[in-house]
Chain A
Amino acid sequence: AQSVTQLGSHVSVSEGALVLLRCNYSSSVPPYLFWYVQYPNQGLQLLLKYTSAATLVKGINGFEAEFKKSETSFHLTKPSAHMSDAAEYFCAVSGQTSYDKVIFGPGTSLSVIP
């Protein structure tokens, strides 16, 4: 069984400050991990994904995430927040076969303060 927890349902950062969104997963098999972003009134869009290659994954819009197996974590970071980063962020986990479902976390709403 797989599950995802995201610490903090709401995070506020100042413009230009570091963004850190936390994700911890539980998986009985080697996982694939994803971060998706949802802007207001839109569908989800993939930011980045880990598929057992490099543990530091770079995504779009300056985001990156590091897979840490020992901590079962996949935290999302961005060095400098921009107003346009305000959105809902979802961490997700799946197994590595085509029959594995993708399980989404509850989401973290990011606010950026000018």
Chain B
Amino acid sequence: DSGVTQTPKHLITATGQRVTLRCSPRSGDLSVYWYQQSLDQGLQFLIQYYNGEERAKGNILERFSAQQFPDLHSELNLSSLELGDSALYFCASSDDRGTDTQYFGPGTRLTVL
């Protein structure tokens, strides 16, 4: 158990819909990262937040957005969903050094029908 929790574990929705994925980092970790893992694209970094502020952006689509709240939990919002958005979405957290070990949550499997 990494100490990072993600909800829900599975999510099935239709094209055009909007969903919210939630992540709670390990106690004391200030950085939260979001990744998308799919068979064709592998593990792609989406976005990083540090103590409530956006710190780094990766291959995140404009239809996707994220935020980190004062209690340090984070949410990833995916809108206007397309079939190609079906993937595993991982959240990871690390301490304030940012490049130290990232602890991954179990992931949310999103299926868009």
Could you list which residues of chain A lie within 8 angstroms of chain B, going by C-beta atoms?
32, 34, 36, 42-46, 49, 90, 94-104, 106-107
Contact = CB atoms under 8 A, between A and B. Distances in A.
A43 B2 CA distance: 9
Contacts of B96: 98
B99 A104 contact: no
Contacts of B102: 44, 46, 102
Interface of B: 2, 4, 33, 35, 42-43, 45, 48, 50, 55-56, 58, 90, 92, 96-99, 101-107
Contacts of A102: 33, 45, 99, 102
A32 B97 CA distance: 12
A93 B19 CA distance: 31
Given A99-B56, A101-B58, A103-B45, A46 B101 contact: yes
B90 A98 contact: no
Given A42-B107, A43-B4, A98-B55, 12 more contacts: A43-B107, A44-B90, A46-B101, A94-B99, A95-B99, A97-B99, A98-B96, A98-B97, A99-B98, A101-B58, A102-B99, A107-B43
Contact of A43 (B56, B98, B106): B106
A68 B45 CA distance: 26
A67 to B, nearest CB: 15
A106 B99 contact: no
Contacts of B90: 43-44
Given A43-B90, A43-B104, A45-B104, A98 B98 contact: yes
